Amino acid sequence: MSDKFKIEIVDGSGRAGKLYTSHGIVDTPAFMPVATQGSVKALDSRDIESIGANIILSNTYHLMLRPGIQTLKDLGGLHVFMGWNKPILTDSGGFQTFSLGKLSHITEEGVTFRSHIDGSSNFLSPEMVIEYQELLGVDIAMVLDQCSQYGLIKEEVLKATDRTHSWASRSKLAHKGNGQSLFGIIQGGGDLELRRYSVNFLTSLDFDGYAIGGMSVGEPKQVMYETVELMGQILPYEKPRYLMGVGSPEDLVECVYRGVDLFDCVLPSRVARNGSLMTVSGRVNILNKAYKTLDGPVDENCNCYTCKNFSAAYLNHLFKAHELSGYRLATIHNLRFILKLMEDLRVAIQNNKLDIFREEFMYNYRSSNEAVRLSQKEKWMKNKLGH
């Protein structure tokens, strides 16, 4: 059993635990708001605290380009820079270089890529990524990995997976530790056999935790759920499991149900800035005419700063008038909705009611994709009637 993670109680595949870091303890399952460039968009660190976040994610690739790793080191590290005293996990930049497409070139040595800011040529090796995250002083570092886009032939996925494995070995060797955790990243695309292969290899290196990478890259939801389900079964029980880049409310519920402990995703904050606000019955568009005259909060049941202080009518106006404060208030609401959902999931596990919680949530929550919702509802009704 690791001294960096303790599972307190399980309910089916779902787990409630505690993650121990140099900057405090994180109750799991947990969602990490995304501060890509050292700021959760539209919020400051006091805002993030007041929403109830206990851990955030930032990005080595972005921080390396701006303001620069040595600058951050000289300023006392990322925590001091951001004015954030709780845990930080940094992604390695593997996914970002993957997103750059033709602007990046991968060899066994590492990744050469053009900066999205000034076009300058840059290089990242697995060892550099480890060193950078140590200089940043973050609590959890991620290895550099090679992501595969969905639909690639198996041979190509295997090549990327092997590259990921070789880089993972080098990363593990390079990592000094000093209280910092290092997570490996499982690849293998939508192929369950390759995923098993990746788990076998990476667990042999004994990382502090395991991330499920290469999801949410265009694959059908069913592929993601199946992959995550398998991971929930074969990843080492006693290590934290982190599903990267996934964070819609329905996916959080489905994947906590399948045994995931950690999540990050830009979706809640990104859609907030487009005026899409989360409620227990689904996402609503604050620009809808109905909100123009609604003097109550967007969500009656919400205890966030925004809902406690401002009406839906005011938010509707702020968005129509393109007032910057609207983006902040909407972001606060959505992130609070997600963090509250994680708290509720944790309580459901503690009460051995994850099953019921999941069913009820899915019944109430209108997924953004109506077809998905209807099939979910149908399944639920069938189950209800069958039992």
Binding site for a second copy (CB under 8 A): 37-46, 66-67, 71, 74-76, 80-83, 292-293, 295, 309-311, 313-314, 316-318, 320-321, 323-329
Query: Which is it for strands 5-11 and 14-21: parallel, antiparallel or unpaired?
Result: antiparallel
Active site residue 91: yes
Does residue 29 have a cis peptide bond before it, meaning omega lies within 30 degrees of 0? yes
| Least spacing, CB of residue 329 vs a second copy, in Å | 6
As given in the structure block, the two tokens for residue 190 are: 């939508």
Question: Any residues with CB less than 8 A from the CB of 362 and at least 6 apart, and which?
Answer: 250, 253, 376, 377, 380
| Least spacing, CB of residue 37 vs a second copy, in Å | 5
**How many whole angstroms separate alpha carbon 305 and alpha carbon 359?**
29
Neighbours of 305 (CB within 10 A): 16
| Least spacing, CB of residue 222 vs a second copy, in Å | 36
Asked if residue 10 lies in contact with residue 261, where contact means CB atoms within 8 angstroms, the answer is no
Query: Which is it for strands 24-28 and 14-21: parallel, antiparallel or unpaired?
Result: antiparallel
Question: Any residues with CB less than 8 A from the CB of 26 and at least 6 apart, and which?
Answer: 18, 19, 54, 55, 87
Residue from 11, 145, 251, 264 carrying the catalytic annotation: 264
**How many whole angstroms separate alpha carbon 89 and alpha carbon 137?**
10
Please identify, using beta-carbon distances, which residue of 85 and 364 lies nearer to a second copy.
85
As given in the structure block, the two tokens for residue 258 are: 């399948």
Please identify, using beta-carbon distances, which residue of 45 and 148 lies nearer to a second copy.
45
| Least spacing, CB of residue 315 vs a second copy, in Å | 11
Please identify, using beta-carbon distances, which residue of 61 and 242 lies nearer to a second copy.
61
Neighbours of 7 (CB within 10 A): 16
Which residues are registered as beta bridge partners of 114?
Answer: 121
Active site residue 264: yes
Please identify, using beta-carbon distances, which residue of 65 and 345 lies nearer to a second copy.
65
- Compute the C-alpha angle 158/160/165, nearest 5°: 90
| Least spacing, CB of residue 79 vs a second copy, in Å | 12
| Least spacing, CB of residue 339 vs a second copy, in Å | 18
- Per-residue burial over 339-376, b if 16 or more Cβ lie within 10 Å, else e, is bbbbeebbebbeeeebeebbbebbeebbbeeeeebeeb
Return the DSSP state at 108: S
Nearest in space to 213 (alpha carbons), one of 242, 187, 246, 183? 187
Residue from 11, 91, 145, 208 carrying the catalytic annotation: 91
Please identify, using beta-carbon distances, which residue of 82 and 253 lies nearer to a second copy.
82
| Least spacing, CB of residue 320 vs a second copy, in Å | 6
Please identify, using beta-carbon distances, which residue of 247 and 297 lies nearer to a second copy.
297
**How many whole angstroms separate alpha carbon 110 and alpha carbon 107?**
5
Please identify, using beta-carbon distances, which residue of 62 and 258 lies nearer to a second copy.
62
Q: Which residues are catalytic?
A: 91, 264
